Amino acid sequence: MSEPARYPGQQADGRRGRVLQRTARRLAGALGAALVLAGTLPGFPAAAAGGSRPAADATVSAEYPVTLTIDSVNKPVAVPNGIVTVTGHVTNGGRSVLKSAHATVRKPWAGKPLTTRSELAGVVTRTSPQGSDGISLDSPQYALNELGPGQSQPYTLSVAVADLQLSTEGVYELAVDVWGSTADNQRDRPLGIARTFLPYVPTNQPEALPSKVTTLWPLVHAPVLVAQTLAEGDQTVPVLRDDSLAAEFAPGGRLYALVETGASLTGLTWVVDPDLLDTAFAMTKDYRVQKPGTAGHAAKDENTVRGTGTAAATAWLEKLRGAVAKPGSQVVALPYADPDLASIAHNAPELEGIDAALGKAATAGRLTVEGRLSVDTRADVAWPYGGYLDQRIASVAQRAGAGLVLVNGASMPESEALKYTPTAPRPIGNGQTAVVSDQVVSSLFEEDLATPQDQTLAVQRFLAETFVVSRQEPQNSRGLLVMPPRELSAGTAKVLAGALQTAQDGKWVEPVKLDALAQAAPDSKANTAVPAATDYPARVRDSELPATALTATTRIQADLDTLMRVLTLPQRVRGPFSAAMVRSLSAEWRSQAPAGSDYRDGVQNYLDELTGAVKVPPKRVITFAGDTGVLQVSVRNDLTQTVTNLKLVLSPSQPNRLRVEMPAEELVLPASQSVTLRFPAEAKNNGTVGMTAQLYTTGPDPQPYGEPVHFTVEVTSVTNGVLYVFGGGLVLLLLAGLRFVRQRKRRVAHDDEGDAPLVPADEPADEPADGPDAGTADGAAEDPGGLDGAGGTGRTPRDSRADGRDRATSDEKVGP
């Protein structure tokens, strides 16, 4: 039976046809390879050295309707006399039925390895079958069923390494293609292709020095600890915004898998958010979780539920302590809660107190990690989000005390004139060293490698890239940094670990910790220029924390400082709030912007609730009867601790009508109690006077505390009382005149011309008809306020009575 033609225009006829086919394939392969070679010569554009993974399938078109995947390669590294088995899927992505098709492996063109990273990138950029992909082998072949549009079929191909005719040690393209025809085009032709890479290491080849590779292993999570705590008996129970970490710490969870996978590797650099460790430790004991919609409120039994992750958190911490204690490993402590340096540098670089806050976060980070994990740690390392660096970020990191900066290779790319990969560390000025990641290698693990196809392609590309780097200058070892994303997934971590282990077993990679890499001598030809802020990627800037969020956090600090001045037990609040404010700036909110906004709002709202627990209860009207008296105003403390260092100030809107005397003593408010303050006052006129009650802190630089309370004072009886006094005096004068006339007449009647007293000693003076108090001095001088004798003799005026009101919570009335 004749074999189908391999290229358009060819006819196969028995042995002669097969010979012609092979000849045509070789010619096509030679032409393709010549084109590839021409692309590397002067005068031809060089292939882009992008960081994307090898194309899993060709672009679907009428000419190439088939998509292929390579789902597994049983031997990631080929050896002599070995067998390489490739599995994958063939899918008809066209509109016509696929007929008489089979899958086959291509032999690399001329059996020559790919010796440069630009050649590797050139393979990645191809989208359709080309002669430079090599020559299709006659055997093995995998016959395919007729596939209608959208139908798929798996394939398995096992090829002897000897049949691939690999000439020497190196990296080769491994391609699988499909040949056949379609119902609308009966011509036998290549219908699609899938590509990956295959390192080949003969055992009799001399070994080069391995590349020293540092791999970052991030353990971070969006903050969940909140500022609230809950008292249960004699202990204080932490509160979490959700219980997501219970699943993360348990078997099957992301953080559990990261620790388990990392524990199997040597020379790993663990990059840890100290806040995550504090949260895990808090979860090892009783803890509570906020119910939905209760963020920003004081934690109570009715708005929280008991957490479920105690056992998982305890086991996870123990597992982590064992993993980081392995010889050769290193722990890098991020600043506490991993504050977003890039957002701060771009949106609030001169924010008051930000440098001090970052410095404290770094110190707290080191102490927390060392305390929780019982290991030495390095804490002078800055890792801006995504590793993207510019001059502003470098400046903020330097002011925060970071001497080492982890940098994405995209921020500091190498010159095209440099034909090799320089070692990672390089000086960038101001006493800082940038450790620059390998962009291509790191980009392989940026996404969640969830499919077998993605996992296989990432591993094979990692092996190819690191192998080529190690052979660029075999006796000059390179230092590479592998920087996965902060949100490294469990599946991707396993793939990265497998790739590292395979390369280490192949002896072209040696894992080393960050310190060993950072201390390597920098390459004088490497790029050391930190880009300007204008060159920062716009797509990364779009996810930054806005300036409003950063300045709002500063306002929280100012409000917290005011609250601290009045508390007798400030330690109950300072620690939780200080940590919560740093958590508000966490880089982990980049991927959870709505949750980050809710968290910041919750911190502010809870602080407002605590501050507002010490307050002047609302008032509307106070009636002030008379010209002197006392204004009573209550202050309530709903906190569970005594409050001091406060003073209440009353400010009348018209001091010329109502003068208020301020007491000198400071307030002392016991927990959960009210105190009523008495302000002597003097009224000049009847009518309405506006009054403002405002709490102030005492001591140096007094500050307003809480919101002011506005109410009205109704002044009555000032004028009537004065007339009453004047009227009483006039009556006395009239009575005195009357008595004088009567006495005069009596003396005249008795013919007595001598002086006589106005009031005989043995006879009381006549009293006016209005009663004894009508015009007496005592009656005029009584306390018009009628409260506790303040401002007078203490006698209660007529018709006064107790009003029965709670003066701490309702309208108040002073006087009768």
pTM to 2 decimal places: 0.79
How large is the average pLDDT for residues 29-45? 35
Question: Per residue in 435-455, pLDDT tens?
Answer: 999 999 999 999 999 999 999
**Least confident stretch, 571-575, 609-613, 671-675:** 571-575
How large is the average pLDDT for residues 29-49? 35
Taking residue 258's Cβ as centre, other Cβ atoms within 10 Å add up to 25
Give CA–CA dist 763/238, Å, rounded. 84
327 CB-contact burial (10 Å; exposed 0-12 / middle 13-18 / buried 19+): exposed
* Helices 571-583 & 354-373 angle (0-180, nearest 10): 100
pLDDT at 772 over 60: no
Q: Residues 147-150: contacts with CB within 8 Å, 24+ apart?
A: 147/90, 147/91, 147/92, 147/97, 147/98, 147/101, 148/92, 148/97, 148/98, 149/92, 149/93, 149/94, 149/95, 149/96, 149/97, 150/91, 150/92, 150/93
At 138, list the tokens: 């006659």
pLDDT at 634 over 50: yes
**How much of the chain is helix, strand and coil, in % rounded to 5?**
35, 25, 40
How large is the average pLDDT for residues 732-738? 55
Helix (H, G, I), strand (E, B) or coil at 585: coil
pLDDT at 476 over 80: yes
How sure is the predictor about 206, in pLDDT bands with cuts at 50, 70 and 90? low
Strands (E), 58-109: 66-73, 83-92, 98-107
**Strand 673-683 and strand 628-637: pairing?**
antiparallel
pLDDT at residue 665, rounded to an integer? 81
Share above pLDDT 90 across residues of the chain, in percent, rounded to a whole number: 71
Using alpha carbons only, what angle is made at residue 583 by residues 582 and 585, rounded to the nearest 5 degrees? 70
147 CB-contact burial (10 Å; exposed 0-12 / middle 13-18 / buried 19+): buried
Share above pLDDT 70 across residues of the chain, in percent, rounded to a whole number: 80
Strand partners, 39: none
Using alpha carbons only, what angle is made at residue 351 by residues 379 and 370, rounded to the nearest 5 degrees? 15
pLDDT at 755 over 90: no
Question: Per residue in 539-582, pLDDT tens?
Answer: 999 999 999 989 888 888 889 999 999 999 998 888 899 899 99
pLDDT at 15 over 80: no
pLDDT at 311 over 90: yes
Label residue 158 left, alpha or beta by phi (over 0 means left) and psi (-120 to 50 means alpha): beta
Question: Per residue in 232-270, pLDDT tens?
Answer: 877 889 999 999 999 999 999 999 999 999 999 999 999
Question: Per residue in 640-665, pLDDT tens?
Answer: 899 999 999 999 999 999 999 998 78
pLDDT at residue 592, rounded to an integer? 94
Rg (CA), the chain: 44
Give CA–CA dist 256/272, Å, rounded. 14
Q: What is the average pLDDT value for the chain, to the nearest integer? A: 83
**29 sits in which H/E element:** helix 14-39
**Strand 269-272 and strand 621-625: pairing?**
unpaired
At 510, list the tokens: 């040696």
Question: Per residue in 578-606, pLDDT tens?
Answer: 899 999 999 999 999 999 999 999 999 99
Say which amino acid occupies 190: P
Give CA–CA dist 714/626, Å, rounded. 11
Contact between 390 and 533 under an 8 Å Cβ cutoff? The reply is yes
Helix (H, G, I), strand (E, B) or coil at 357: helix
**461 sits in which H/E element:** helix 452-472
How large is the average pLDDT for residues 66-80? 96
Helix (H, G, I), strand (E, B) or coil at 89: strand
Closest Cα to residue 406, out of 430, 382, 441?
A: 382
Question: Per residue in 351-381, pLDDT tens?
Answer: 888 899 999 999 999 999 999 999 999 999 9
How large is the average pLDDT for residues 187-196? 94
pLDDT at residue 80, rounded to an integer? 92
N- to C-terminal Cα distance for the chain? Answer: 122
Between 730 and 321, the more confident residue is: 321
Helix (H, G, I), strand (E, B) or coil at 310: helix
Taking residue 363's Cβ as centre, other Cβ atoms within 10 Å add up to 15
**Strand 98-107 and strand 170-182: pairing?**
antiparallel
Give CA–CA dist 75/85, Å, rounded. 7
Give CA–CA dist 499/456, Å, rounded. 10
Question: Per residue in 378-426, pLDDT tens?
Answer: 999 999 999 999 999 999 999 999 999 999 999 999 998 899 999 999 9
pLDDT at residue 719, rounded to an integer? 54
pLDDT at residue 747, rounded to an integer? 53
Contact between 667 and 696 under an 8 Å Cβ cutoff? The reply is no
How large is the average pLDDT for residues 91-111? 93
Between 510 and 28, the more confident residue is: 510
Closest Cα to residue 215, out of 266, 259, 264?
A: 266
pLDDT at residue 59, rounded to an integer? 66
